[in-house]
Amino acid sequence: MKNSGILRIRKIVFLVISSILICSIPVFASNVQSNANRQENRFVSTIGQTDDVVATTYEAATTNAKLNSLNGSFHTIQKNVDYLINNCFSKLTVWIDSTNSAYASKTVILLKGSGSTTVGSCTMKANGTHYEAVFEKLPDGTYTVKYPYIFSNGTVQSITTSITIQGKDVSKRLYGDLFQMTIADIQNMCKAGIIHQMVHVGDTISDGTYTYTIIGINQDKPSDESGNLLPESSYGDVLTLMPLGALVGASNGQPVTVNRKAMPWDYPAQMNSSDTSLGGWKSTDMRKITMPQYLAKLPAETQNVIGYVKKISGRPSSTDSTDYENGSSNVITGDKCFLLSEKEILGYARCATGNEGNATFQYQYFKSIAKSDESRCLVLFSWLRSAYYGNTDDFTLLYTVKELTCAWNASTKAQVLPAFCIY
**pLDDT tens-digit profile of 103-118?**
998 999 999 998 889 9
User: pLDDT confidence of 32, banded at 50, 70, 90?
Assistant: very low
Most confident option among 63-77, 200-214, 307-321: 200-214
pLDDT of 417 > 90? The answer is: yes
The pLDDT of residue 17 is: 41
Nearest partner of 97 among 136, 137, 124, 120, judged by Cα: 124
pLDDT at 377: 95
Rg (CA), the chain: 42
Contacts for 193 with CB less than 8 Å, ≥ 6 apart: 236, 237
pLDDT of residue 179: 85
Distance of alpha carbon 331 from alpha carbon 283, whole angstroms: 10
d(CA 159, CA 189): 7
Q: Say how far apart CA 166 and CA 250 lie, in whole Å.
A: 32
pLDDT of 28 reads 41
Residue 27 within any structural domain of the chain: no
Q: Is the pLDDT of residue 75 over 90?
A: no
Domain with 331, as residue range(s), is 260-422
> Is residue 357 in some structural domain?
yes
Q: SS3 for 345?
A: helix
- Kindly state whether residue 372 falls inside one of the protein's structural domains: yes
Alpha carbon separation from 184 to 193, 264, 279, 342, 413 (Å, rounded): 14, 19, 36, 31, 34
- Model confidence pLDDT, tens digit, residues 330-360: 999 999 999 999 999 999 999 999 999 999 9
Give residue 206's pLDDT.
96
* Mean pLDDT (the chain, rounded): 87
Percent of the chain scoring above 90 in pLDDT:
66
pLDDT at res. 42:
62
Specify the range with the lowest mean pLDDT, choosing from 33-37, 175-179, 322-326, 342-346. 33-37
Whether 411 maps to a domain, the answer reads: yes
Per DSSP, the residues of 280-304 read: -GGG-HIIIIIHHHHHHHS-HHHHT
What is the predicted pLDDT for the residue at 84? 60
- Count structural domains, the chain: 1
- For residues 66 and 35, the model is more confident at 66
Residues 6 or more apart whose Cβ sits within 8 Å of residue 102: 150, 154, 156
The answer to the question of residue 13 being in a domain is: no
- The yes-or-no verdict on residue 289 having pLDDT over 80 is yes
Phi, psi for 13 (deg, rounded to 5): -60, -45
How far from 133 is each of 82, 150, 193, CA to CA, in Å? 23, 16, 25
Asked whether residue 31 carries a pLDDT value surpassing 70, the answer given is: no
Of residues 46, 52, 45, 55, the one with CA closest to residue 67? 52
Quote the CA–CA distance of 256 and 322 in Å, as a whole number: 42
Is the model's pLDDT at 172 over the cut of 70? yes
Indicate the range of 43-47, 62-66, 125-129, 309-313 predicted with least confidence: 43-47
Q: What's the pLDDT tens digit per position in 6-29?
A: 445 454 434 444 444 444 444 444
Whole-number Å distance between alpha carbons of 59 and 296: 72
Whole-number pLDDT of residue 7? 45
More confident residue, 164 or 67: 164
| CA-based nearest residue to 40, from 53, 50, 51, 26 | 50
Is residue 76 predicted with pLDDT exceeding 80? Answer: no
Q: Is there a contact between 327 and 342 (Cβ–Cβ < 8 Å)?
A: no
* Distance from C-alpha of 415 to C-alpha of 384, rounded to nearest angstrom: 10
What number of other Cβ atoms are within 10 A of residue 376's Cβ?
A: 18
pLDDT band at 311 (very low <50, low <70, confident <90, very high): very high
Q: Is the pLDDT confidence value at 82 over 80? A: no
The pLDDT assigned to 25 comes to 44
Residue-wise pLDDT tens digits, 222-249 = 999 999 999 999 999 999 999 999 999 9
Q: What CA–CA distance (Å, rounded) separates 188 from 163?
A: 13
In-domain check, residue 251: no
> How far, in Å, CA of 336 to CA of 333, rounded?
10
Determine, yes or no, domain membership for 127: no
Q: Is residue 225 part of a domain?
A: no
DSSP-derived secondary structure letter, 125? E
Percent of the chain residues topping a pLDDT of 70: 86
Smallest CA-to-CA distance from 333 within 414, 229, 409, 235 is with: 229
For position 159, what pLDDT does the model report?
A: 84
Nearest-angstrom CA–CA distance, 13 and 19: 10
